[in-house]
Structure 1
Amino acid sequence: MASSGTKDISYEDLKALLGKSENLFLVDVRSKEEVDKGRIQGSVHIPLDTVDAALAMEPEQFKAKYGVTKPPLDAPELVFHCQMGRRGGAATTKAHELGYVSARNYAGGYKEWSTKEGK
């Protein structure tokens, strides 16, 4: 189902990274309305239509806008997610095109996360 070159990450793998990794950079590409209903703790909200611009920003600009340090191009644990996987996949593809070689998509999305987390 994933397009060629797009790496996916499973719920279990993401859960493990959230628990132990300091390098995880989790990006929620859903709309503000969706995020307001619930989000994965630790995620950074960057709507899909702004991902290109966000990842092209200078680090200082990025930090000022999102309150977190911009991930480097070789960030080992850059993960995008949306509600059901499609927009996360699109964001991951954009990130790859911009040079984020290890970017991955949490294909289960917030729908799977909230179900498994019982939220």
Structure 2
Amino acid sequence: MASSVTKDVSYEDLKTLLGKSQNLLLVDVRTKEEVDKGCIQGSIHIPVDTVEAALSMQPDEFKAKYGVTKPPLDAPELVFHCQMGKRGATATTKAQDLGYVNARNYAGGFKEWSEKEKK
């Protein structure tokens, strides 16, 4: 499979992962202003234009900056999301290019999440 193919995660998939996976690293790539208005519980914020730099950091540097352990290249549950899906896909592609083989995008983004969570 070509590395340019972005694997997507559905709302249901993400909900399940958040409920059961200790290994999930959910990365919110929106702007700080967007995140301040609301975020998916358990996500960490790495703006899309800094994803490459963040994932290239040394593990101790990453942990100091983001408060979580840097995911290994073969991290099974690495999911990016933005507001509507486009920046999440960009971040996912960047991560895949750096060797994060299982990086995926939650294509519905925070927009879909917040709509479904209100029900």
Question: Which interval holds the TM-score relative to the shorter structure?
Answer: over 0.9
Structure 1 position 114, deviation (Å): 0.1
**Which residue of the partner structure matches residue 50 of structure 1?**
50
| Secondary structure of residue in 1 paired with 2:110 | helix
Match of 2:63 in 1: 63
Gapped regions of structure 2 (runs ≥ 5): none
Provide the residue aligned with 2:16 in structure 1: 16
Unaligned runs of 5+ in 1: none
1: distance between equivalents of 2:76 and 2:4?
Answer: 19
Please name the residue that 1:107 is paired with. 107
Q: Distance between the aligned counterparts of 2:23 and 2:63, measured in 1?
A: 16
Distance verdict in 2 for CA 1:76–1:38, change over 3 Å: same
After superposition, the C-alpha distances for 1:66-101 in whole angstroms (9 at most, x for unaligned) are: 011000000000000000000000000000000000
1:5, distance to aligned residue in structure 2 (A):
1.3
CA apart distance, 1:43: 0.2
Cα distance, 1:52 vs structure 2: 0.5
Query: How many residues in Structure 1 have an aligned counterpart in Structure 2?
Result: 117
Question: SS of the counterpart of 2:79?
Answer: strand
TM-score, structure 1 normalization: 0.96
Q: Which residue does the alignment assign to 1:74?
A: 74
Partner SS state of residue 42, structure 1: coil
**What's the TM-score once normalised by structure 2's chain length?**
0.96
Cα deviation, residue 4, structure 1: 4.4
Counterparts of 1:76 and 1:66 in 2: how far apart (Å)?
19
Which amino acid in the other structure matches residue 29 of structure 2?
Answer: V
Q: For the residues of structure 2 that align with 1:38 and 1:82, how far apart are their CA atoms?
A: 12
- Deviating runs (4+, > 6 A) in structure 1? none
Calculate the aligned-residue CA RMSD, in Å: 1.2
Q: What displacement does 1:44 show?
A: 0.4
